[in-house]
Amino acid sequence: MVDFIFKNILRFVLLMFAVSFVVFALVSLSPIDPIQANLGQAAYVNMSEAKRAAFAEHWGAGTPMLERYASWMAGLLHGDMGTSLRFNASVSQVIAYRAVNSLMLMTVAWVVSGVLGFVLGIAAGVFRGSFIDKFVRVYCYVLAATPSFWIGLILLTVFAVQLGWFPLGLSVPVGVSGEVSFADTLSHLALPAITLSLVGVANIALHTREKVVDVMESEYVRFARVRGESAGSIMKHHVLRNVALPALTLQFASISEIFGGSVLVEQVFSYPGLGQAAVTAGVGSDVALLAGIALVSALLVFGGNTIANVLYGVIDPRMKDKTAQGKAVAS
């Protein structure tokens, strides 16, 4: 147990260093001028060279990449993630505000896509070759090949523009800065969450279907049928037990896909989350904010994969036995 915790902590620290360094390296290689991008073309052209140099010194535009990274890392170790150029606020404040919106969006999409994909996968596997199976597969293949932003545009056009059932975007009504009702929050969250859920259903449904087909054709299920077990008993004691583990593991591993899809979805719906902030930071060469968001996203992905590994051993004790046998052989 101690060895497992130590290895994961070491991997996490190395991952954080690697992600942050790559972000700084990529931004330093970007042709975008942070001064011009953040001040605007008109203000930049009419600005004197002295003011440009002052802004460059204040924002560290002319500082070598390694020196900027070392300074940022020193501040991070003391709890300071730097200041965002685009939002003129501390990176921690920007991330804290937008992380709440993104976590609500991704949590709803993650749960809905997991449950719906699991149910559709079981239905397609149990009724293999039927109309239900063909419908689920076609549905998943189409969604897997369709970009999330395209689905978002269709939903936005139909349900927000044509029908007027949902707002066009944002996370709160326009002009509202105080308390927002729960109904308003749900109405603004609905279309982005539905878009992410529809895209995330495909992988879990197809993988679950294949696992159900394998289980239904296994020897122990055939033996259960010969013994006279009912279809409900076979589903409960054999199919669900063997299908839940890979589905759960895949669902936690899909956190990275949910986060990646949220970047495009938040842009389409003008939803103020981490994805939209990441695009804004990238366009404006806001390296401090971009590095902070990258660390948060890496934390989410690493946490999801770690939880999946832990649950793997809890649900299936055979995995612990195999790990112990591997260590014994190695020693």
3-state secondary structure 32-45: CCHHHHHHCHHHHH
Exposure string for 310-326, b = 16+ CB within 10 A, e = fewer = eebeeebeeeeeeeeee
**For residue 60, what pLDDT band results from cuts at 50, 70 and 90?**
low
Per-residue pLDDT tens digits for 138-181: 988 888 888 888 888 888 888 888 888 887 776 555 555 556 66
pTM higher than 0.85: no
Mean pLDDT, to the nearest integer, of 313-326? 57
For the chain, which residues make up each domain, given as ranges? 2-90, 91-330
d(CA 200, CA 108): 11
Q: Please compute, for residue 307, the number of CA atoms within 13 A of its CA located in the half-sphere on the CB side.
A: 13
Report H helices in the chain: 2-29, 34-39, 41-45, 49-59, 65-77, 91-126, 131-144, 148-155, 182-216, 219-226, 231-234, 240-253, 255-268, 274-283, 287-315, 318-330
Structure tokens at 137: 């597969």
Mean pLDDT, to the nearest integer, of 266-283? 84
* 82: region left, alpha or beta (phi > 0 left; psi from -120 to 50 alpha): left
Which of the four CATH numbers 2.60.40.1930, 3.30.429.10, 2.60.130.10, 1.10.3720.10 does domain 91-330 have?
A: 1.10.3720.10
For residue 314, pLDDT over 70 is answered with: no
Q: Which of 97-106, 160-169, 196-205 has the lowest mean pLDDT?
A: 160-169
**For residue 82, what pLDDT band results from cuts at 50, 70 and 90?**
confident
Out of 1-10, 114-123, 266-275, the most confident range is 114-123
> Which pLDDT does position 14 carry in this prediction?
92
> Which pLDDT does position 312 carry in this prediction?
67
Query: Do the Cβ atoms of 196 and 105 come closer than 8 Å?
Result: yes
Query: What percent of the chain has a predicted confidence (pLDDT) above 70?
Result: 85
For residue 317, pLDDT over 80 is answered with: no
> Which pLDDT does position 64 carry in this prediction?
81
